[in-house]
């Protein structure tokens, strides 16, 4: 290790131990990240008159399906390892962000159909808490040393020294987790600003997906600890698909609105 680096993480990723079981900071941060979005959703939804029964049912299903989705995506990404280690399939040691997000989307869409609620409005109200949860989760990753970046020799490289860190020790690497924390924080500012100013249902959701896909796609080129094919990861494939879907939707919407306008003028 050469040079002087401004980020040196000496924090022990183990917060405390109970009966010989280690509780890592990551688990504490993840727990906070899981519980925060339903709480914020409840506050925002109540302001709009949504009943407590809807809020409770959505929250329970979001947590359950979100956790399953996050774990399932991790298993699929590392299927070769788990084929030979089936005893490690169940647990919280390994989740993927998009699995959790897509789980929440599935619950929101299904419940909106069953309960006769607006899917986009539910989405607009869960996202503000969701983006804050992403910041908290990445703080947990930073303390844990997981989701670490590629080796580099930049002045702002992060160096892990705590023996229980998941990252390579005493090696300067890109602070990938901090890159994403900063981007998610920018997203949070934009999302919360929009929430207070716009009356267009779905605008918060659209803004979230565009910013998430762009930021995640670019920063993951600097991440080291996930499988990649042809230089891109599973998450980046999803990022590209999201952006393509949004572009196609925007084109179709523009063409459709143009035809309606031309038809009205002809009439």
Residue indicated by tokens 């990445």:
138
Work out the number of other CB atoms within 10 angstroms of the CB of residue 205. 21
Kindly provide the b/e burial profile for residues 124-144, where b requires at least 16 CB atoms within 10 angstroms of the residue's own CB. bbbbbbbbbbbbbbbbbbbbb
Whether 100 contacts 67, CB under 8 Å: yes
Q: How confident is the model at residue 23 (pLDDT cuts 50, 70, 90)?
A: confident
DSSP conformation letters of 136-157: HHHHHHHHHT-S-B-B---TT-
* pLDDT for position 100: 87
Per-residue pLDDT, 228: 85
Nearest to 179 by CA among 232, 208, 142: 142
pLDDT exceeds cutoff 80 at 256 = no
Bigger pLDDT: 258 vs 21: 21
The answer, yes or no, to whether residue 203 has pLDDT greater than 90, is yes
Could you tell me the pLDDT band of residue 126, with boundaries at 50, 70 and 90? Answer: very high
> Is this model's pTM higher than 0.85 or not?
yes
Q: Which of 79-83, 97-101, 174-178, 197-201 has the highest mean pLDDT?
A: 174-178
Mean pLDDT, rounded, of the chain: 87
C-alpha 72/C-alpha 90 separation (Å) is 10
Model confidence at 194, in pLDDT bands (50, 70, 90)? very high
Question: Is the predicted pLDDT of residue 71 greater than 70, yes or no?
Answer: yes
pLDDT at 40 over 70: yes
Q: CB under 8 Å to 2, separation ≥6 — which residues?
A: 153
Residue 2 predicted with pLDDT over 60: no
Strand ranges for the chain from DSSP E: 7-9, 14-18, 21-24, 158-160, 228-229, 232-233
Mean pLDDT value of segment 188-213: 94
Report the C-alpha gap between 168 and 147 in whole angstroms. Answer: 11
Phi and psi torsions of 103, nearest 5°? -65, -40
Q: What is d(CA 178, CA 167) in angstroms, rounded to the nearest whole number? A: 14
Q: In terms of pLDDT, which residue wins out, 110 or 22?
A: 110
Residue ranges of the domains in the chain? 7-266
Residue 156 has pLDDT above 60, yes or no: yes
Nearest to 100 by CA among 34, 181, 182: 34
Share of the chain above pLDDT 90, in %: 60
Provide mean pLDDT across the span 35-48. 96
Q: For 206-232, what is the mean pLDDT?
A: 93
Mean pLDDT of 151-156: 92
Residue 96, pLDDT > 90, answer no
pLDDT at 78: 64
Q: Give the C-alpha separation, 186 to 259, whole Å.
A: 37
Cα distance between residue 13 and residue 167, in whole Å: 11
> Tokens in use for 93?
């040691």
Q: Which two tokens stand for residue 228?
A: 């990649």
């Amino acid at each position: 290790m050469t040079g002087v680096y401004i980020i040196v993480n000496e924090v022990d990723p183990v917060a405390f131990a109970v009966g010989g079981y280690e509780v890592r900071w990551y688990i504490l941060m993840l727990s906070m990240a899981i519980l925060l979005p339903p709480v914020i959703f409840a506050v925002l939804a109540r302001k709009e008159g949504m009943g407590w029964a809807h809020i409770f049912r959505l929250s329970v299903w979001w947590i359950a399906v979100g956790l399953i989705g996050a774990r399932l995506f991790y298993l699929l990404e590392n299927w070769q390892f788990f084929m030979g280690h089936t005893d490690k399939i169940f647990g919280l040691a390994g989740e993927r962000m998009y699995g959790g997000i897509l789980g929440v989307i599935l619950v929101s869409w299904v419940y909106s159909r069953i309960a006769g609620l607006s899917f986009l409005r539910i989405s607009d109200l869960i996202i503000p808490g969701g983006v804050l949860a992403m910041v908290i989760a990445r703080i947990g990753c930073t303390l844990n040393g997981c989701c670490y970046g590629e080796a580099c020799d930049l002045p702002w490289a992060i160096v892990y020294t705590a023996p229980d860190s998941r990252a390579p020790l005493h090696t300067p690497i890109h602070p990938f987790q901090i890159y994403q924390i900063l981007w998610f924080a920018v997203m949070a500012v934009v999302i919360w600003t929009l929430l207070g100013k716009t009356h267009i249902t779905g605008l918060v959701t659209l803004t979230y997906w565009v910013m998430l896909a762009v930021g995640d796609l670019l920063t993951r080129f600097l991440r080291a600890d996930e499988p990649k094919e042809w230089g891109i990861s599973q998450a980046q494939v999803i990022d590209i698909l999201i952006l393509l879907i949004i572009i196609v939707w925007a084109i179709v919407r523009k063409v459709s609105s143009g035809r309606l306008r031309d038809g009205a003028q002809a009439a």
